Copies of this chain bind each other. A is one copy, B any other.
């Protein structure tokens, strides 16, 4: 209750009542229809950060949970962590369901069982998610000569943090909670500089090295054993709009990357194009057309003076 680092305000204060009233007026102008007759509690970024720590700990208990687990304690830890985490997630899912585009107040009574079913479905998928993540770890080990061991990869590679968040965010998106999925994606983005839209479909054995500045768009489809480096963009070329100029949402507009492709740092790949299986895209390349299997695309040279 005490706030020790606040100075006493000067005697005549900050004109608080005036500022509060002006801010209220600003709110009333801008979102007059906010409530729509019901109070909707937003999901919490802070709680979702805890949830992601909990799910990561359940998936890789000694690396993301506690380092002191042994054979007799590890299942107790996993079970308790899941109980704790899934309970928090249940509450966040319930909140998020209210923000779905199609939600209206008549469905509110239905939210609790839908939230529980969503959480149960995610829990059911966790072992498969762990399997996919293990393939990603193996890809990192095989792809980076600087890696000295699995523990280093789990603890120090932002690309692993990004894919752990993405695989869970993608599952939540498919289970019908896009707002939670986006929050989880941005939590990973803020921590790693890697921005993967939760809608992107990504196959097993995926590895991003260094990672800062990578952007992977909503409708990307990425095959197995694909490797990206920092600052790669898999983006949209232009945004289809309807006859009124409003953007059409959800249209396929990002690249398809087939199996066994490597894309080097700074490459920009735009539009619903396909990079054929086994291709290599060089650093800083700007690519807006499909390339066949086993292509090798590189940038024009720089000029030296």
Contact = CB atoms under 8 A, between A and B. Distances in A.
A274 interface: no
Interface residues of A, number: 155
B57 A91 contact: no
A24 to B, nearest CB: 6
A97 B251 CA distance: 52
A57 B76 CA distance: 15
Contact of A23 (B1, B45, B59, B297): B59
A158 B190 contact: yes
Contact of A299 (B64, B71, B251, B302): B302
Contacts of A39: 8, 11, 68, 70
A88 B6 CA distance: 5
Contacts of A149: 99, 101, 179
A81 B76 CA distance: 9
Interface string A38-49: 010111111100
A298 B302 contact: yes
A175 interface: no
Given A233-B266, A298-B303, 19 more contacts: A1-B64, A5-B91, A7-B88, A9-B116, A10-B113, A10-B116, A16-B72, A22-B126, A22-B127, A31-B150, A42-B63, A42-B67, A67-B95, A73-B80, A76-B83, A193-B193, A286-B299, A286-B301, A291-B304
A217 to B, nearest CB: 8
B127 A26 contact: yes
A83 B14 contact: yes
A47 B63 CA distance: 14
Task: List 3 A-B pairs, minimum CB-CB distance, nearest first.
Answer: A76-B79, A4-B5, A6-B87
Contact of A80 (B53, B76, B266, B285): B76
